[in-house]
Structure 1
Amino acid sequence: MDPLLLGALVAIATVMVLFSGVSVAIGLLIVSAGFLIVFDGLRSLELMPEILFGKLNNFALLSIPMFIIMGASIASTRAGADLYEALERWLTRVPGGLVVSNLGACALFSAMSGSSPATCAAIGKMGIPEMRKRGYPDAVAAGSIAAGGTLGILIPPSVTMIVYGIATETSVGRLFLAGVIPGLLLVSLFMAWSLYSTWKSGSAQVLMASSYSWKQKFEILPRVLPFVAIIIGVLYAMYGGIATPSETAAVGALMCLLIAMIIYKLWDPRQLWVVLRDSTKESVMILFIIAAAGVFSYMLSSLFITQSIAEWIGTLDVNRWVLMGAINVFLLIAGFFLPPVAVILMAAPILLPIITTAGFDPIWFAVILTINMEIGLISPPVGLNLYVINGIAPDISLKTILKGSLPYVACMVVAIILLCFFPGLATWLPDAVMGPGQ
């Protein structure tokens, strides 16, 4: 059978299996095994266990559970509330400062936790009631938190970037650096829209807030600065050549646990057990998907699907930006239905040879892909963040939350366009810190 036609059959079968309700990892294994048996014979299954476990034989994977523990220890404390309160106290006199402080808290907390739902829950529980009480429109209050929660998969340290690095054999350090400036760009765009929307609402209450003394502003900093220092320390150790990403993740996880125990009195063994239990569950889920995606990639390569698609794309007489536009549409649609980790692991083996053949930088593309995944987190029908916000504020309808999040989707699209015109936004910092790379 023609490999391109076979690739279309694989795509249709994969979508059907994943929509049947089975887990992503099991679904990938079912599709891989089925096509290998039909087109390559039963003997091809002999290699599946070796590929499955061999994909996990990578020291860089150790950083994933470590960063997850780092985030879980933060999410299990009042760190999110303290972070929100600290920014509120310092930005209280800024017009529309409360929504700005919420977005800033989302950016910092999501960077520390690496979890979009955890960020929405931690900051939303404090921020949404406060914004509504002070006259902010429900759409702005809910939409800003939903969008702010997505920043964790772009701003380092990011588990999504680690997965992309492993899937494409790209430097995790360069990927982390590539996400810094685009992450700050997105935060700025979010804040700009939020200030405009609150100004447009014309509510005087929105522009007024409680005043705090200098003593009140400084007294909360000791509870927040240690977590910020850990992020800075992790990044410094990684880029200063002191330790590998896995080693810095392990130290960061230990330090976050210690701070949670010392500052937030997380001494109860039952609470610590919950942190470790939840971290283990999430880590196993991600690692299982990575292993299954390795088998899926082997199937695509063994049946010459990946090579044929890349060769076919190379023969197309089409502008490379038209090609990139088509890839973005594909990523958007995939992100609407699947979690970011699954999309990256399934799409990277196919897309990487295509983008490199077209002359695009894989580091730059990682940022474009990640922003597309952020859009999926606040877009229906799956839109996980929308449902988290609805759970926090059930009296705000999903329609209102979606309406409030759409302008932030537009901000992300603007960021993608800016990155296309100015790719140096993603590539300059990695080249400046680590030297010109791939």
Structure 2
Amino acid sequence: MDPLLLGATVAVVTILVLFSGVSVANGLLIVAAGFLLIFDGFRSLELMPEIFFGKLDNFALLSIPMFIIMGASIASTRAGADLYEALDRWLTRVPGGLVISNLGACALFAAMSGSSPATCAAIGKMGIPEMRKRGYPDGVAAGSIAAGGTLGILIPPSVTMIVYGIATETSIGRLFLAGVVPGMVLVGLFMAWSIYSTWRYGSVETLMRSGTYTLAQKLAILPRVLPFLAIILGVLVAMYGGYATPSETAAVGALLCLGVAIVIYRLWNLKALWVVLRDSTRESVMILFIIAAAGVFSYMLSSLFITQSIAEWIGTLDVNRWVLMICINLFLLVAGFFLPPVAVILMSAPILLPIVISAGFDPYWFAVVLTINMEIGLISPPVGLNLYVINGIAPDIPLKTILVGSMPYVLCMVLAIVILCLFPGLATGLPDLVLGPAV
């Protein structure tokens, strides 16, 4: 069978298997085993266990459970509520200060937890009721939190970036730095739209919080927030200062976050600590299982010459490289509508990266563009995980209202991709400045 036709068959079968309700990891293993058995015979199946476990034989993978523990320990406390309250106190008299404080809290909490659903839940429980109480439109209140939660997979430390680095064998530290400035650009675009939409549908009074806080009240909340921010800063300094590897800094960060949660938030209860470790283990195993299964799936694609044929076919296309990038973005966008970011990255990045590099694009710039596409998927149907998290927090806000409220933020993300295409230095400048030009 022609490799391209075989590749199309594999794509259709994979989609059908994943839509059947099978988990992503099991679905990839089933498809890989089936096609290897049909086209290579039983002997090819003997290599599957070795490939499966060999994919996990990577020291960098240790950083995934450590960063997940780091985020889970933060999410299990009132850190999100305190972070929101701290920003709210300092921005209380700023026009649009409430929505700005919510988006700022989302950005900071996302950086600490690395989890989009956790960010939506932690900030949304406080922010949505308060915004609605002050007269903000339901669409702005729900949409801003749903969009702000997506920043967890872009702003470092990001588990998604770690997975991309492992899948493509690129520097995780450089990937983290590449996401900083684009993440800030997204935050700025989100804030600009939120303020504009509030002015459009509300009034000047809507943008102002009633009441003021004294300087003492503003300072009183900081000791509960600053330790977590200091840990994040310390992790980044240790990593980029050359003092430790990403895995080592992740381990120290996880230990310190657990310590702060115990000391400041009185997380003495052993049951609560057990829940943190249990949930972190489950999420880590899930991600590692997908990574291993994706390794077997990639082996199947390579063994049947599907990957090579697709790359060769795209290389022969006489199209402008930006047309090629638009097609890749459309593919990633559609894939992100149906699959979680980790699965999309593991399945597509090894195939797309050689094509992207041959077209003259920077691999770290492409990582940011890919991640923003995955962010769009988090607030877009039919999966749209963040939409359902917000609906669970505020069940009286119809899902349609949440979806309509999040659509302008999708356009903000598309605009961010356009800006990155026009100014790629926004993603590559900071890594080159801190770590030197990529070899």
TM-score, normalised to structure 2, is: 0.99
Q: Which residue of 2 aligns with 1:382?
A: 383
* Corresponding residue SS for 1:150: helix
Partner of 1:41: 41
Q: Is the 8 A contact 1:379 1:402 kept in 2?
A: yes
Task: Give the letter for the 1:419 counterpart.
Answer: L
Matched to 1:143, the amino acid is: G
Q: Which residue of 2 aligns with 1:241?
A: 242
1:135 touches 1:205 (CA, 8 Å); kept in 2?
no
Greater CA drift, 35-44 or 353-362: 353-362
Q: Partners of 1:207 and 1:243 in 2: how far apart?
A: 45
Residues 78-117 of structure 1 show CA distances to partners (whole Å, capped at 9, x for unaligned) of 0000000000000011101000000000000011001100
Structure 2: how far apart are the matches of 1:139 and 1:45? 51
- Check whether the contact 1:134–1:205 (CA below 8 A) recurs between aligned residues: no
Whole-angstrom distance in 2 between the partners of 1:396 and 1:103: 19
Match of residue 271 from structure 2: 270
Q: For the aligned residues, what is the CA RMSD?
A: 0.6
2:305 matched to 1:304?
yes
Q: Distance in 1 between matches of 2:208 and 2:321?
A: 49
SS in 2 for 1:93: coil
Equivalent residues of 2:103, 2:145 under 8 A apart: yes
Match of 1:115 in 2: 115
Alpha-carbon distance, 1:356 to partner? 1.2
1:12 partner amino acid: V
Q: Could you give the per-residue CA deviations for residues 221-255 of structure 1, whole angstroms, max 9, x where no partner exists? A: 00000001111000000000000000000000000
Q: Which runs of 5+ in 1 are unaligned?
A: none
Scaled by the length of structure 1, what TM-score is found? Answer: 0.99
Give 1:392's aligned residue.
Answer: 393
Structure 1 residues 396-435: aligned runs within 5 Å: 396-435=397-436
- Give the Å deviation of 1:199: 1.1
Asked whether the equivalents of residues 136 and 202 of structure 2 are also in contact (C-alpha less than 8 Å), the reply is no
Segments ≥4 residues shifted beyond 2 Å: 202-205
C-alpha distance in structure 2 between counterparts of 1:201 and 1:211, whole Å = 24
C-alpha contact (below 8 Å) 2:137/2:202 kept by paired residues? no
Gaps of 5+ in 2: none
CA drift of 1:202 comes to 3.2
User: Shift in Å at residue 23 of structure 1?
Assistant: 0.2
Aligned-partner residue type, residue 77 of structure 1: T
Instruction: After TM superposition, list the pairs within 5 Å mapping 1:219-230 onto structure 2.
Output: 219-230=220-231
Is residue 26 of structure 2 the alignment partner of residue 26 of structure 1?
A: yes
Q: Is the 8 A contact 1:168 1:348 kept in 2?
A: yes
* 2:66 equivalent in structure 1: 66
Name the residue aligned to 1:354. 355
Deviation per CA, 1:116-173, whole angstroms, max 9, x where unpaired? 0000000000000000000000000000000000001000000000000000000000
1:13-412 → structure 2 map (5 Å cutoff): 13-209=13-209, 210-412=211-413
1:287-320 per-position Cα deviation (integer Å, ceiling 9, x unaligned): 0000000000100111111111111111000011
Distance in 2 of aligned mates of 1:419 and 1:205 = 36
Q: Distance in 2 between matches of 1:211 and 1:369?
A: 42
Counterparts of 1:150 and 1:65, CA distance in 2: 20
CA distance in 2, matches of 1:313, 1:426: 26
Deviation at 1:350, TM superposition (A): 1.2
Query: What SS does structure 1 have at the residue aligned with 2:225?
Result: helix
Structure 1 residue 200 displacement after superposition: 1.2
CA–CA separation in structure 1 for the residues paired with 2:96 and 2:425: 31
Cα contact 1:135–1:203 (8 A) shared by 2:
no
Secondary structure of 1:394 counterpart: coil
What CA distance in whole angstroms lies between the structure 2 residues aligned with 1:202 and 1:31?
52
Local SS of the residue matching 1:157: coil
Partners of 1:256 and 1:280 in 2: how far apart? 16
Deviations 1:305-363, CA, capped at 9 Å, x for gaps: 11111111110000110010000000000000110000000111211111111111111
Say if 2:83 and 2:225, in contact at 8 Å, map to a contact too: yes
Specify the code of the residue in structure 2 equivalent to 1:254: L
AA in 1 matched with 2:58? N
What amino acid does structure 1 have at the position aligned with 2:228? Answer: F
1:403 is displaced (CA, Å) by 0.7
Distance, in Å, in 1 between the alignment partners of 2:326 and 2:125 is 37
Partner Cα distance (1:88, 1:179) in 2 = 26
Instruction: Check conservation: 1:320, 1:358, Cα contact below 8 A.
Output: yes
- In the alignment, the residues of structure 2 paired with residue 126 and residue 37 of structure 1 have an alpha-carbon distance, to the nearest angstrom, of 53
- TM-superposed deviation, 1:204: 3.8
Q: Retained in 1: the 8 A contact 2:174–2:431?
A: yes
How many angstroms apart in 1 are the aligned matches of 2:202 and 2:236? 42
After superposition, the C-alpha distances for 1:356-377 in whole angstroms (9 at most, x for unaligned) are 1111111100000000000000
By how many angstroms is 1:189 displaced?
Answer: 0.3
Q: d(CA) in 2 for partners of 1:17 and 1:373?
A: 21
Q: CA deviation at 1:267?
A: 0.5
Paired amino acid for 2:353: L
- Kept after mapping to 2: 8 A contact 1:73/1:275: yes
